[in-house]
Every structure is written in C-alpha cells, then in structure tokens.
C-alpha cells in the first residue's frame, strides 16, 4: 500500500533493535518531511559507518586500528575491565572511577559463543602486564554465567579476578548505570 521506496525504508527500520513496525512508519514519515539537504547528511553518516573500525586490541569501536584508550599509555596497564558490548564502556568512563584498559567480549557465553573474543583476551593477558582482571558483565543470568566461565579459564593465569560489586540491581545493565553506582561498584569490586 505504500510506495515501494517508502516500504523498503520501513522494512529497514523495523529490522533495527527495539523498533517495531509502527515506530518504523513514524520514522520514515518524519524523514519524508525533511529537506533534501538533511536527508543527504543522514545518508552520508550512514555510509560513513563503514569507516568505523573495531580496535584490534580491545575490540572497542574505534576510528583507527587501535582505540584512544589502548593508545593512552598514561592509563593503568596492569588492569583490564571486561565488558559485554562497546556501549558498556561509556558509563564506566563517565564515572571516572577506572583508568585501566578494557576488553570487549562481544556478548555473553551462551548467546553467541563463537563470536566472543575470549581467545584474544587470554592471549592479551598472557602477553601483557595485566595483574587484575575486572569482570563487568551485566548482572543478568547470562552475565553471571559469563563471569563464572571467565573466572574458570582465567584461573590458569597469574592474575587476580574480581567482579563489580552488586551495587547494581540484579537484572540490570551496566549501560544504564549511573555514575555514583558505578563508582561504588568499582571501588568495592569483589574478588572472585
Ligand atoms: Zn582498544
């Protein structure tokens, strides 16, 4: 019932996480009403996503082969914080309670086991100055299982393993945690 180009855009938007068909229709209608200049800018930004890379060391999103955190030698090179997704890094950085390195796992143990960067993590821990691994997976069932799995395989290495303290409610995502909660969670991290 919609023109083909209109429907195709709706389909694209509907395929995005958290966007249902009704919301997709509203977004496309909104775009339809915008100026050609604004739409051009939007299309350019969308295309430029090809230029964004994954950091070769920590798997954070990055403009270059290594992200700004891995390149910053003033950061504590003896600590590494394991997070599920790149978005989890933002609130931890914003809390200013952590100045070590990161490692983006790419998910949790059972959801997409094959694509996780666990081998890369072990490789890095083995060949670096890391003395403490801080696990900051979400406080969900999957996050808990992942933390336990990581603890088990990190046992072989000469590193302390800790996890963020449960200042965060069970079932909560690091991504949405506020500064105060993260500060105390990091400070009171528990040895596993
Ligand atoms: Zn990096």
For residue range 79-109, what is the model confidence (pLDDT) as tens digits?
A: 999 999 999 999 999 999 999 999 999 999 8
pLDDT of amino acid 113: 67
Instruction: Find the range with the poorest average confidence among 52-66, 107-121, 151-165, 166-180.
Output: 166-180
Instruction: Locate the domains of the chain by residue range.
Output: 4-51, 53-191
Examine the pLDDT at 115 and tell me if it is beyond 90: no
CA-to-CA distance for 47 and 112, rounded, in angstroms?
27
| Cα 187 to averaged position of ligand 1 atoms, centre (Å) | 23
Alpha carbon of 71 to ligand 1 centroid (Å): 7
- Listed in sequence order, the residues at least 6 apart from 64 whose beta carbon sits closer than 8 Å to its beta carbon are 53
- The CA 38 to ligand 1 mean position distance, Å, reads 33
How far away, in angstroms, is 66 Cα from ligand 1 center?
Answer: 5
pLDDT in the model for residue 184: 86
Cα 30 from Cα 25, distance rounded (Å): 9
Q: Which CATH number fits domain 4-51: 2.40.30.10, 1.10.8.420, 3.40.50.720, 3.30.9.10?
A: 1.10.8.420
> Model pTM?
0.82
Distance 114 CA to ligand 1 centre (A): 21
Distance 56 CA to ligand 1 centre (A): 7
CA of 57 to the centre of ligand 1 (A): 5
Confidence of residue 171 (pLDDT cuts 50, 70, 90): low
Chain segment 34-53, per-residue pLDDT in tens:
999 999 999 999 999 999 99
Q: Do domains 4-51 and 53-191 have the same CATH topology?
A: no
pLDDT digits (tens, 9 = 90+) for 125-161: 999 999 999 999 998 899 999 999 999 999 999 999 9
Choice between 175 and 90, residue whose per-residue pLDDT is larger: 90
**Token pair for residue 116?**
């996780």
- Helix, strand, coil shares of the chain, percent, nearest 5, are 45, 15, 40
Distance 101 CA to ligand 1 centre (A): 8
Distance, CA of 134 to CA of 150 (rounded, Å): 10
**Which fold does the domain 53-191 belong to in CATH?**
Dna Topoisomerase Vi A Subunit; Chain: A, domain 2 (3.40.1360)
> What is the C-alpha to C-alpha distance for residues 146 and 152, in angstroms, rounded to an integer?
10
pLDDT of residue 111: 61
Ligand 1 centre to CA of 128 (Å) is: 14
What pLDDT does residue 137 have? Answer: 93
| Residues with a beta carbon under 5 angstroms from ion ligand 1 | 55, 57-58, 60, 67, 70
d(CA 62, CA 162): 27
**C-alpha of residue 148 to centroid of ligand 1, in Å:** 24
């Amino acid at each position: 019932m919609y023109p083909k180009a209109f429907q195709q855009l709706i389909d694209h938007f509907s395929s995005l996480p958290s966007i249902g068909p009704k919301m997709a229709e509203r977004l496309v209608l909104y775009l339809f009403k915008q100026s050609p200049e604004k739409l051009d800018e939007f299309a350019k930004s969308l295309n430029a996503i090809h230029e964004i890379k994954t950091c070769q060391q920590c798997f954070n999103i990055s403009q270059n082969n290594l992200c700004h955190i891995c390149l910053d030698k003033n950061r504590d090179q003896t600590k590494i914080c394991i997070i599920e997704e790149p978005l989890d890094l933002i609130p931890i950085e914003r809390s200013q309670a952590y100045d070590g390195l990161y490692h983006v796992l790419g998910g949790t143990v059972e959801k997409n086991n094959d694509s996780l960067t666990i081998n890369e993590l072990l490789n890095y821990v083995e060949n670096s100055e890391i003395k403490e691994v801080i696990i900051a997976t979400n406080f969900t069932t999957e996050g808990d299982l992942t933390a336990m799995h990581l603890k088990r395989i990190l046992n072989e290495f000469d590193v302390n393993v800790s996890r963020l303290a449960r200042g965060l409610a069970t079932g909560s995502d690091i991504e949405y945690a506020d500064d105060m909660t993260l500060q105390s969670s990091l400070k009171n991290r528990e040895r596993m």
